[in-house]
Amino acid sequence: MTPASLSDALHAALTDAVADGTFALDPADLPTTVHVERPRQREHGDWATNIAMQLGKKAGMAPRAFAEELARRLAAVPGVSAVDVAGPGFLNITLLASAAGELVRTAVEAGAAFGRGDALAGESINLEFVSANPTGPIHIGGVRWAAVGDSLARIMQAAGAKVAREYYFNDHGGQIDRFAQSLLAAARGQDAPEDGYGGAYISEIADQVIAGAATAGRPDPRTLPDDEAQEAFRAAGVDLMFAEIKASLHAFGVDFDVYFHENSLHDSGAVDRAIARLRALGRIYEKDAATWLRTTDFGDDKDRVIIKSDGEAAYIAADLAYYLDKRERGFDRVIIMLGADHHGYVGRMMAMCAAFGDTPWTNLEILIGQMVNLLKDGQPVRMSKRAGTVVTIDDLVDAVGVDAARYSLARSSTDSMLDIDLDLLTKATNENPVFYVQYAHARTANVARNAADAGVRRADGFDASLLDHVAESVLIGALSEYPRVVAQAAELREPHRVARYLEMLAGSYHKWYDQCRVAPFGDEEVTDLHRTRLWLNDATRQVLANGLGLLGVSAPERM
């Protein structure tokens, strides 16, 4: 019996009681799903619900009386061992070991599919994340979105959604011009321009541009007239930077389905078409030689310039076209992950969405994540390219490896600022909870090996009623929560829930391991208890592997 089937049983009991008039409620008053949760205290049973406290008053009954009646009906359900009413009206439910343990078989047999669900079935989602400017390597701030975004994509896919990962590549505009100027200056041995980029990577890329031109038999770009030279460095430099970013992300385990170039929106006329569309809808006006979008009609603080008075498209013009492009590619849900420093965009982006006739927060969803704070010796360090204190995605991976990096970035809520202490990270890797979880997985693999050596085989027997140790019912309860954790993480867009869940599951497993032996001692005879425990061991292994997979973290057989 799973929490879902228990929830269904509760719902059925409520429906019956309403139908026969015991509860003076309208069927519409009943929630579609009755929420059950694992009680904090083990003595409170396997599952608990507060439904009696929610509905009692509505039915004109004392919550406890309501609970008593519901308990009576639920106790008759097969698989339910005991139902107690506690406190103000909690229903504490204990399952028969045999009923609870069936989940173990379900999990093993479902394999990699265990935990997949339909919470997001039928949704076609475009998830944009990272989208760092190609003016330098991805630094530690951007890495957070790489880890969280990719995990979110995996989780939403597990929840049944069709997801495209997308990276928006800002290869147009002033920042890129400054990047090109910086490359040119470095190539000619000059100082970086005002507001330019001065890191060591700039001269490295400049050298590569020069070398690339030589290989291709083109003239040395340094010798061209200024504007041609700058364009040569721009075109080649952006490509090189792009390749580097892509390679770094790939090494981090993150591959995008689409790398979308902003330039293409301008070149293809998509920007003009988007503006024409809005003009036809009456959302556009001209003022002070600029073209404006009336975003204040849709809740924005002020109207936004989309074509500047110098005739150039403002940044948001490309956003209009990009959003429209995504929608026209068939995505009914466009999700964009942005850092807190871009929070100011939300209002205008939602207004833009509404201006097209779409529904803000439904067709367009913007997730704001707080920034990463870099610490050294416990003190915050301001990252500066000149001071050499920039920490890139590659630095992080070199220091701690992909698993530890991804896990530590994905395990906390993006609503919270994240402190990353480099010194701590580089020397004390065992302080990362990822190893606690991975070790649990390695341990399940080891137990399985030992069991196999001792001649314990799953196929020879499974008797769920034998899983009656407290540690086993706790572990089974933990396993049974996994599908709902995945669904919830997907719906709330919160991958960290999966990580926290895995830590809890690993804890339950370690405790079980300590108390319940799987492989027989010495010449002890192999019994169904050993076999059934091997099922439980393997079910845990499967869930740990599935969960780590959603985070893009490996599940090692040995450590």
Partner RNA sequence: GCCCGCGUAGCUCAGUGGAUAGAGCGUCCGCCUCCGGAGCGGAAGGCCGAAGGUUCGAAUCCUUUCGCGGGCACCA
- Residues 68-87 within binding reach of RNA (CB under 7 A): 86-87
**C-beta of residue 223 within 8 angstroms of C-beta of residue 521:** no
Regarding 343 and contact with RNA (CB under 7 A), the answer is yes
Residue type, 2: T
Nearer to RNA, 69 or 262 (CB): 262
Residue closest to 348 by CA, chosen among 377, 380, 385, 317: 317
Regarding 301 and contact with RNA (CB under 7 A), the answer is yes
Candidate residues 73, 261, 342, 385; the one interacting with RNA per rule CB under 7 A: 342
Report the alpha-carbon angle 422-426-429, nearest 5. 120
**C-beta of residue 438 within 8 angstroms of C-beta of residue 503:** no
Tell me the C-alpha distance between 249 and 215, whole Å: 27
Tokens of 366: 């913007």
Regarding 321 and contact with RNA (CB under 7 A), the answer is no
Tell me the C-alpha distance between 503 and 497, whole Å: 10
Candidate residues 447, 464, 476, 543; the one interacting with RNA per rule CB under 7 A: 447
Report the alpha-carbon angle 470-471-473, nearest 5. 65
Nearer to RNA, 37 or 255 (CB): 37
Tell me the C-alpha distance between 126 and 171, whole Å: 20
Nearer to RNA, 217 or 522 (CB): 522
Candidate residues 81, 203, 450, 465; the one interacting with RNA per rule CB under 7 A: 450
Instruction: List binders of RNA among 353-382 (CB under 7 A).
Output: 368, 370-371, 373
Residue type, 404: A
Regarding 446 and contact with RNA (CB under 7 A), the answer is yes
Candidate residues 219, 282, 344, 455; the one interacting with RNA per rule CB under 7 A: 344
Instruction: List binders of RNA among 180-219 (CB under 7 A).
Output: none
Instruction: List binders of RNA among 240-269 (CB under 7 A).
Output: 262
Piece of the chain touching RNA by CB under 7 A; list 105-113, 121-129, 168-176, 198-206? 168-176
Regarding 327 and contact with RNA (CB under 7 A), the answer is no
Tell me the C-alpha distance between 472 and 484, whole Å: 20
Nearer to RNA, 154 or 496 (CB): 496
Q: Is 164 exposed, middle or buried (0-12, 13-18, 19+ CB in 10 A)?
A: middle
Regarding 286 and contact with RNA (CB under 7 A), the answer is no
Residue listed under structure tokens 């940044």: 315
Regarding 154 and contact with RNA (CB under 7 A), the answer is no
Report in angstroms how near the CB of residue 213 gets to RNA at its nearest: 25
Total number of residues that touch RNA (CB under 7 A) = 89
The SS3 assignment for 305 reads strand
Instruction: List binders of RNA among 214-243 (CB under 7 A).
Output: none
Q: Is 527 exposed, middle or buried (0-12, 13-18, 19+ CB in 10 A)?
A: middle
Nearer to RNA, 59 or 213 (CB): 59
Q: Is 544 exposed, middle or buried (0-12, 13-18, 19+ CB in 10 A)?
A: buried
Nearer to RNA, 211 or 559 (CB): 559
Regarding 57 and contact with RNA (CB under 7 A), the answer is yes
Piece of the chain touching RNA by CB under 7 A; list 121-129, 138-146, 209-217, 334-342? 334-342
For residue 305, give every residue at least 6 positions away whose Cβ sits within 8 Å of its Cβ, in sequence order, or none: 290, 291, 292, 293, 314, 316
Candidate residues 1, 132, 140, 305; the one interacting with RNA per rule CB under 7 A: 305
Tell me the C-alpha distance between 394 and 245, whole Å: 10
Binding mask 15-44 for RNA (x = CB under 7 A): ------------------------xxx-xx
Instruction: List binders of RNA among 385-414 (CB under 7 A).
Output: 411-413
Candidate residues 25, 249, 314, 544; the one interacting with RNA per rule CB under 7 A: 314
Residue listed under structure tokens 């085989």: 457
Q: How many CB atoms lie within 10 A of CB 536?
A: 28
Instruction: List binders of RNA among 105-124 (CB under 7 A).
Output: none
Piece of the chain touching RNA by CB under 7 A; list 103-111, 158-166, 395-403, 492-500? 492-500
Candidate residues 75, 82, 290, 402; the one interacting with RNA per rule CB under 7 A: 290
Helices (H) and strands (E) in the chain, counts: 18, 14
Regarding 518 and contact with RNA (CB under 7 A), the answer is yes
Q: How many CB atoms lie within 10 A of CB 219?
A: 12
Piece of the chain touching RNA by CB under 7 A; list 102-110, 245-253, 313-321, 325-333? 313-321
**C-beta of residue 392 within 8 angstroms of C-beta of residue 251:** no
